[in-house]
Amino acid sequence: MKAKIFVKNCEFEGEPKDSDFSLTEEELPPLKEGEFLCVGEWFSVDPYMRVHELWSKVGATMVGSQVAKVLESKNDVFKEGMYVVGYFGWRTHTICDGKNEPTPGFGQPLIVPHLEKLPMSLYLGVLGMPGNTAYFGFLEICQPKAGETVVVTAAAGAVGSHVGQIAKIKGCKVIGFAGTKEKVEWLKKDLLFDHAYNYKEVDVDVALKEAAPNGVDCHFDNVGGEMSSKILRHMNPRGRISVCGSISAYNALSSEAPKASLVQLPMILKELKMEGFMVMRWLDRWEEGTTQNIDWIKEGKLKYKETITEGFENLPKAFKEMLNGKNVGKAVVKA
Ligand SMILES: NC(=O)c1ccc[n+]([C@@H]2O[C@H](COP(=O)([O-])OP(=O)(O)OC[C@H]3O[C@@H](n4cnc5c(N)ncnc54)[C@H](OP(=O)(O)O)[C@@H]3O)[C@@H](O)[C@H]2O)c1
């Protein structure tokens, strides 16, 4: 059995290019006692992969999670036919003992039940890491109250679209910023955001003066940079800012790292709380998030979209397109 694997070809400079990746093959050995072999059916492409690249070595397998099916097993827990979500990286087939994770630091493979009426890819999105990022990162850090005004950036992406809908469920007024007219329409018409703007066409200050004349109470920040600094100046006293990501800087050339505006004065004068987080903080409460998210889907309160790229070989393309905003909702690759 041969596994196809994407490895990092060189240090990335700016936007990832096709030449940054090499597709290689690895002959897999027979299974030892305690091991299982699985095949990836769905692959995730996520912004953190661009950041992870900064400390991974040339020649390393590209990092990433997948929904995989156990093909063969000599392990008592991970049995043939089961599905797992594992951080195995960009590789078609993986041998695993269920304990030693091929990508250290991302937790052990998680056995997931077959979703009869929903696609299994949701374990990479609304029922997986991005869904729990929205659930815990928004509720725990922003602690939104009914009637408050919430701003979400990268609002039509996997995390942002989910956060905005939780904010609506909690009775908040929601304002989203996204990068195309189609995304803005989706946020307003389908997800019922109160206001949504194309940040490439409107000035964030002007938009917030119109949509949030009484100020912003919670900001779920996916983007960072100048957009965050502008939103900061619209925060109400005792506002909360959940710092989830800073995608505006991920592709920045090392020589052109963006400079941040001073945040201290507005933070002091308005007594703001700004807190960064890594979703793995809530690993021990993982099931709480996924259970609530699936209940909201069943109740019709939480909608999702996926942008599906066909073919394992197209992982680099899907990754580049996601960083460039081509995805609506969660970007996934179907093997
Ligand atoms: N802290 C954590 O534990 C954690 C976990 C998961 C994700 N995150 C972070 O959450 C954010 C969203 O992740 P996601 O998985 O949901 O990705 P996503 O939003 O589905 O996809 C990325 C989106 O970012 C937007 N974008 C790209 N460059 C931008 C720029 N210069 N300015 C503004 N927007 C830009 C694009 O949409 P537009 O068309 O709107 O530009 C693109 O579709 C990322 O920053 C990610 O790193 C953090």
Residue 154 Cβ < 6 Å to ligand 1: yes
Ranges for all domains in the chain classified under CATH 3.90.180.10: 2-124+305-334
Please say whether the beta carbons of 161 and 304 come within 8 A. yes
pLDDT given at position 107? 75
Q: Which of 18, 55, 62, 47 is nearest to 248 (CA)?
A: 47
Ranges for all domains in the chain classified under CATH 3.40.50.720: 129-280
Q: What is the distance in A from the centroid of ligand 1 to the CA of 150?
A: 17
Structure confidence by residue, pLDDT tens digits, 100-114: 666 666 778 999 999
Quick: pLDDT tens for 246-260.
999 999 876 777 676
Q: How far is the CA of 47 from the centre of ligand 1 (A)?
A: 6
Nearest protein Cα to ligand 1, atom 19: 157
Helix (H, G, I), strand (E, B) or coil at 218: strand
Instruction: Name the residue among 130, 175, 170, 129 with its Cα closest to residue 151.
Output: 175
Asked whether residue 300 carries a pLDDT value surpassing 90, the answer given is yes
Task: Please spell the DSSP secondary structure of 247-269, one letter per residue.
Answer: GGGTT--GGGPPPPPP-HHHHHH
Tally of CA atoms within 13 A in the half-sphere of 237 that contains its CB: 1
CATH annotation of 129-280: 3.40.50.720
In this prediction, residue 55 carries a pLDDT of 86
Cβ of 96 below 6 Å from ligand 1: no
- The region, left, alpha or beta by phi > 0 then psi within -120 to 50, assigned to residue 19 is alpha
Confidence of residue 216 (pLDDT cuts 50, 70, 90): very high
Architecture of the domain whose range is 2-124+305-334: Alpha-Beta Complex (3.90)
